[in-house]
Copies of this chain bind each other. A is one copy, B any other.
Amino acid sequence: MDIAVKSEQVLETETEFREYLKRMSNYQEALGLIGWDLRTGAPKKGAAQRAEVIGTLSADVFKMAVSKEMEKFIETLSSEEAQSNLDDVTKSSLYQCKKTFDKQRNIPEDEFKNYVILTSNAESIWPEAKDTGDFAMFLPYLEKIVAYNRKYTDWVGYEGNRYNALLDDYEPGLTVETLDRVFGELRDRLVPLVKAVQESDSKPETDFLFTHFPKDKQEQLSRALLEQMGYDFEAGRLDTTVHPFAAGLNPNDVRVTTKYDEGDFRTAVFGTIHEGGHALYEQNIDEKYIGTPVCSGTSMGIHESQSLFWENFAGRNKAFWEKNYGLLKENSNGQFDNISLEDFYRGINVAGPSLIRIEADEMTYTLHIIVRYELEKALINGDLEPRDLPEAWNDKMEEYLGVRPQHDGEGVLQDVHWSGGAFGYFPSYALGYVYAAQLMAAMRKDLDTPFEGLLREGSLKPVKEWMTERVHKFGRSKQPLEILQDTTGEGINPKYLIDYLEKKYSDVYELNR
């Protein structure tokens, strides 16, 4: 009798809690739509007032996440008796809410408010600092942002290295210990590969990459490729933007954006496939998680593994173009008529050291990230001061990539992340590559038809389904490292990525001939 009564109370609290989450999630969905709109053609004069709307809705979400009511929900539903009565959606939701609540409640309100203003100002001045390469202009902001992030690690707590507190925000469970090992291996084996590729005499032809490709034909091609990947256009749409992204408003409304450069079709083709990979993740989260904080990708790294898997392991695979080179030619103006498939394949895989991360190829990309990781870790641990960043940056770029920026605009100031205080974010990008290669290897073992065979036929359904069953459907109900372990039988292992890159670039650059 007593237990029955208690269970009824739990049930009631669970229902209230889920209603509360639904409300938060509805505000967030509105915010998601506003964000998408602002980046896909919202009139610029309306942006200032739209910021007010964002302010109101964000404050609602924030207040609800740290409210007395939330505290009560967490307390009631965390009891042993409650736990044994909760369904898995509520349990996973509670876990996410508690994590947010515990972190937020230790941050002094005043410090947080000032920090929001600080980063907002820093983001405003950053473009000018970057464009003029003026690090001195940015330094006072950066110093305060780093100081806050050091304090933040104390407020929210950490085990081992102080930087772990920041990693956990983007990649739950990830530690410096792991990253040092993983990035160390990557660095040690990629630096020689980059050198070998640079010294190769067999460079791909690339002229055809830059021939005129009309925008409307690129759009047709982009749509056809998304269809082939299994992107559901009834639960999404494709638009154009300046900095492409995918927006998951809910699993039935996940939007892809892309950019058409008529002088370089790769921007749209690989950009669309990349964002399409993110979108497939969000479209295939189990619908039972709708209206809860579980209904999104489990981490930045796993999200990036999906986009990079599609962009590189599928989209830059020769077999993919055996299927799609004809489609590309149909949608073009005849500029590929004299380019063989082999030359096309080598051309789209041209690689080499460069200064700018967002323009880097898959061979060098992770090295750009390792530079940032090592600098961030040193900054947060007090082993490096912000004023010494430019020198440290340039030295590392020279050491790992063999190139040295001429000014800070193409060096330490190139990325927006630090102006927004996003320390701990960069490693996710590299982990995305590592995860993607591990998932690729595991998938190969499970597929009935070899992966390249599927690409050649354009039958990508088994690929999407494999990812959905092992990654997508769980949303945030499984932790990133749990997904990796369950799917591949091991932890983070960079060997698969390195082997793949060595094999691929030996082929493209004919290193072994």
Taking Cβ atoms with an 8 Å cutoff, the residues of A that contact B are 22-23, 26-27, 29-30, 33-34, 37, 41-46, 48-50, 52-53, 55-57, 232-237, 249-250, 252-253, 255, 290-291
Contacts and interface: CB of A to CB of B under 8 A. Distances in A.
A249 B37 CA distance: 13
B49 A253 contact: yes
Contact of A22 (B30, B48, B52, B234): B52
**How many chain copies does the complex carry?**
2
A45 B291 CA distance: 16
A46 B291 contact: no
Contact of A26 (B43, B57, B252): B57
Contacts of A37: 33, 37
Given A33-B34, A34-B33, A250 B46 contact: yes
B43 A290 contact: no
A43 B291 contact: no
A295 to B, nearest CB: 10
Contact of A237 (B41, B52, B237): B41
Given A27-B56, A56-B26, A234 B34 contact: no
Contact of A253 (B45, B55, B236, B249): B45
B45 A252 contact: yes
Contacts of A253: 42-43, 45-46, 49-50
A29 B34 CA distance: 10
Contacts of A42: 237, 253
A491 B43 CA distance: 38
Given A29-B50, A30-B30, A56 B234 contact: no
Contact of A30 (B53, B236, B249, B291): B53
B46 A252 contact: yes
Contact of A43 (B29, B50, B57, B237): B237
26 contacts: A22-B52, A23-B56, A26-B52, A26-B53, A27-B56, A29-B53, A30-B34, A30-B53, A33-B33, A33-B34, A41-B237, A43-B233, A43-B234, A43-B236, A43-B252, A44-B234, A45-B234, A45-B235, A45-B252, A45-B253, A46-B235, A46-B250, A46-B252, A46-B253, A49-B290, A50-B250
Nearest to A52: B26
A89 to B, nearest CB: 15
A30 B57 contact: yes
Contacts of A55: 26
